C-alpha cells in the first residue's frame, strides 16, 4: 500500500472508504455501502467501478453469477452515460450505481472463487505437476492415436459430463451414427483441435 494518502470529497481516507464499502456490501448493508460508494464517486469514479467489478467476483462469484454480469453491464452503462453527462445529467449515472450496489448487497455471496484461486495458484507455484489423465488421451492427441483410440473411446470417455444439464438431448444418438459412418467412409488426418 502506498504511503500517499488520498482523500474523498468528504474528507475520508480513500483506503478506509474503499474498505468500508466492500465490508458493507459483504454484510448486505445497502444504505451504508451506497454512502461509501457515493463518497468514492466524488473523486474516484473510474476506480469505484473497477473496485465494484473486483468485489463482484471476489465476494459474489458463483454464488450469483448473474449479479457479476449485471455489475459489468452497469459499469459499461455508467461509462457511456458519463460521456453524455451534460445532456442526461447525474440521475442516470446515479441509477446505474444504485442498482449495482443494491444487486451486490442482496446477492447470494460466495468467496470460493477467490479461495480456490489462492489454493490452486499456490499449489502450482509450489511445484504441483500431475500426469495428464488417461481419459484425456483420445483421438485428438498424439498419444491417444498411438494407443489406437478412436471415436468409440471419445464417445464413451471423452464427452463424459459432471453436473450435466437436465435438458433432453434428442440429437446425441444420431450425431454418433453420423460421425461413425463418416469415419468408416472417409478416413482422414484430424487436427488436434478438432472436436476436442
Total-model pTM:
0.80
> Is 124 a residue whose pLDDT tops 50?
yes
Q: What's the pLDDT at 193?
A: 47
In this structure, CATH architecture of domain 14-111 = Up-down Bundle (1.20)
Which residue has cell 480513500? 14
Higher pLDDT, 86 or 111: 111
Q: Locate 188 and state its grid cell.
A: 482422414
Q: Where in the chain is the domain with CATH 1.20.272.10?
A: 14-111
pLDDT at 179: 85
pLDDT digits (tens, 9 = 90+) for 29-74: 999 999 999 999 999 999 999 999 999 999 999 999 999 999 999 9
The angle at the Cα of 83, spanning 81 to 87, to the nearest 5 degrees, equals 75
Query: What pLDDT score does 92 carry?
Result: 77
Single out the residue of 62, 57, 67 nearest to residue 22, CA to CA. Answer: 57
Q: What is the predicted pLDDT for the residue at 81?
A: 87
**The predicted structure's pLDDT at residue 192:** 44
Amino acid at each position: 500500500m502506498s504511503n500517499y494518502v488520498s482523500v474523498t470529497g468528504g474528507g475520508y481516507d480513500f483506503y478506509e472508504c474503499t474498505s468500508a464499502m466492500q465490508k458493507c456490501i459483504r454484510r448486505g448493508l445497502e444504505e451504508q455501502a451506497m454512502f461509501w460508494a457515493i463518497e468514492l464517486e466524488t473523486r474516484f469514479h473510474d476506480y469505484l467501478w473497477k473496485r465494484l467489478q473486483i468485489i463482484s467476483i471476489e465476494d459474489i462469484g458463483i454464488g450469483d453469477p448473474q449479479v457479476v454480469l449485471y455489475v459489468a453491464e452497469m459499469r459499461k452503462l455508467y461509462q457511456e452515460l458519463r460521456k453524455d453527462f451534460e445532456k442526461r445529467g447525474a440521475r442516470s449515472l446515479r441509477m446505474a450505481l444504485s442498482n449495482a450496489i443494491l444487486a451486490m448487497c442482496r446477492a447470494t455471496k460466495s468467496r470460493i472463487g477467490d479461495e480456490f484461486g489462492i489454493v490452486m495458484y499456490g499449489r502450482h507455484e509450489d511445484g504441483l505437476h500431475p500426469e495428464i489423465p488417461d481419459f484425456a488421451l483420445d483421438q485428438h492427441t498424439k498419444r491417444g492415436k498411438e494407443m489406437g483410440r478412436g471415436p468409440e473411446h471419445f464417445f464413451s470417455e471423452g464427452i463424459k459430463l459432471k453436473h450435466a444439464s437436465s435438458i433432453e438431448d434428442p440429437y446425441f444418438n444420431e450425431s454418433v451414427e453420423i460421425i461413425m459412418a463418416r469415419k468408416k467412409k472417409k478416413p482422414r488426418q484430424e487436427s488436434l483441435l478438432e472436436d476436442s
